Structure 1
Amino acid sequence: MVNTGHPSRGCDTCRKRRVKCDLRRPGCERCEKLGRPCSGYRDLDQPDLIVRVMTPASFRPASWTRTKPTDETKSRRKSDLEKFKGDRKHDNNSSILFEKDPLLIRQAPESWETHVMPLIMSQLMAQVPGTTRIYGPLACFPTLLKAADSRSSLYLASYAVGYAYLANRTRLSDLVLSHRGAYGKALNALSLAIHQPETQKDDSTLLTVWLLSLYELILGTPESEEGPLNWNTHGKALAGLLRTRGREQFRSRKGCQLFLLAYHTIQIQCFQTNKPPPTEAIDWFKYFDDWETPSSRVMAPLLSFSDDALRISWRAWSRVQHQGSPDRILAELREIVQALRDLERSMEYHFGYKIVCPLWEMTANTTLKGQRLTFMQLHLCNHIDASLLRVYHNVYHLLLYAVKFASPSIDEYKEIASLQEDNISMTRARASRVLATLPDLLPEKEKRRDDTVEVNLADITRLIWPVRIVASSPVVQERQKTMAKDALRRMGHEMGIMQAVGTYFPSTNAKPF
């Protein structure tokens, strides 16, 4: 007798393929690899479930079970065919179609290619509630893309980003092949453009590299790899192109916009890898001051102040890593803490609202000079808090290092303990401020209001770094860490930005977040 075993609780796909289902929640791993939605698992305890014992003799020929068309179906098909012939009787080229069943005539499926460009254009717009959409630093993107050839690096990079984003949102395997192919072609076209002097300084070349770095964020880093190495490589390429473009890039509005876009990515990578800012950055911001635009009055000072925070963070990290004379640790620690406090005060004075914590905690109804904060102002606050959180992290490790190696006296030990308590308090306060922006910047589906602006790719890319810092901080409260990790999972699995749940650089030396 055939041993049929016990009935399987597996999903439809695994039972059809006759393989063991891992019963993972919410869907099995095999369906995930195949890119198919998992149908769920059978409950064998249901009273209405009938499990049949099937043997080779249980299957009948297909002709026995095929449903024969009824007279009503035949007459309906005949009338449909006559009507179709009457509608097309003046078409000389349709005689072949008349002989076929009209139910077999189907419209060809529309290609994803027609939707990729409009999708990526809409996803890179900055959104402002109550007004029309604007691009911000990407205002030149539509103009450059319209002028680009279909075989250019910019055009291919845009397709790669669009297909990768669609693949993550829809989980269709065909789109995976499309974005990988477009990415490879974009790299080849970019290599040719970089090695040609006439295209090396083009705006489209710089924008292409930035789009490829965005592609790496969308693709994410698997757990088996250490950090977004390709993203870091594209960031170094952005810095090299800014040096090559020199002062000439600041002579046009388009060049200034692309500089802000590229330098934002460079700065975040420097924070993540504990590297100092480019030595030319001070001169770049001086050249940028010649432009009297909203971006020059807000974004340029923001990035300049964050560079100062980056220098303080790098100084603290270097002191821990290189382990110089223990006699200088306490004196250098005091200098770093004082520099950090001075930076906070100067940022508060410039931007016109409280930067120092915990005297002021930001909520969704916080006002800036009598007006509710807009999306862009919330992102600005998050960038400030993220920069300072990175400094607190390295200062915290410097405080631990001072206790261990500096052999402090009782009074010096009390001073270090007081600084450590202040550091933890400030870290948790800034983490609360970042998390307070999530209801506006990343609203949950079931809690979205009718007037809520749809979150897009541009919003998520600005939000990943601040939330990632909160989730990885060793001193935040467990509740804060849980909220941040939940937000990152939503960014990855709901919004399609997989780097939110991917790995970052190894923590053995650099101690990154």
Structure 2
Amino acid sequence: MVGVAGKSRACHDCKRRRVKCDFQKPSCMRCEKAGRACPGYDRASIFVNRTLSEFTTTARVAIAEAISLQVQISMKHSSRLLQTFEQLQANITVPQAPFPGTFRLGAWDILRELYLPRTRSTDECEVTATSCYSWVHAVCHMVPKSNVLNQALLAFCAIQVYLAEPWSISEERAQSLYGEAVKKLIESLEESDVERRDDTLAAIVVLSTCEVKQLWRTSTMHQSC
């Protein structure tokens, strides 16, 4: 069982990310495909530092303190993600600057961190040339002004932040932004020649990616890269 303490046979990284592990040894293929270094399956040794002032400290207490510290660090990280997203949402109303626009550059920064796979190289040229993810770079660097595309990107970024840090953005907020984006897209398709524009097709791709996953609506248990 994934994510259940004491019952999961998954590697430590899959267990932490609450995703399904293939149990391959010495390293699972899921970590390798995601460009991660698989930490393995063995339980790490725990050393308890007992001082004169804390001579009665036990392993259970030490683990609880370590988890508390990790949560604090995660909360600090989520605050940074939330601030980045809030700034992105504020920039959606800012007029588009010359290529490619403040808003879409901000969306690219969030998606590059949360949606694209983590590899040894974060070179932009490599990401652009990667067929599976090249559309993300292309969409975020489109020039034409398009409120429909911007709304779709905002919803997609909200979903990614929710999947990464569920306590920073609520599921209801992500769903609401997604619903608004779909509504704007439907309304725009009623205009003449809009369906033939590249930015309209880009918005459809972005929202279709949300639909294909459909993971953010129900659970983060099976989220993937």
- TM-score normalised by the shorter chain: which range applies? 0.3 to 0.5
| Greater fraction helix | 1
Higher Cα Rg: structure 1 or 2?
Answer: 1
User: TM-score, normalization: structure 2?
Assistant: 0.43
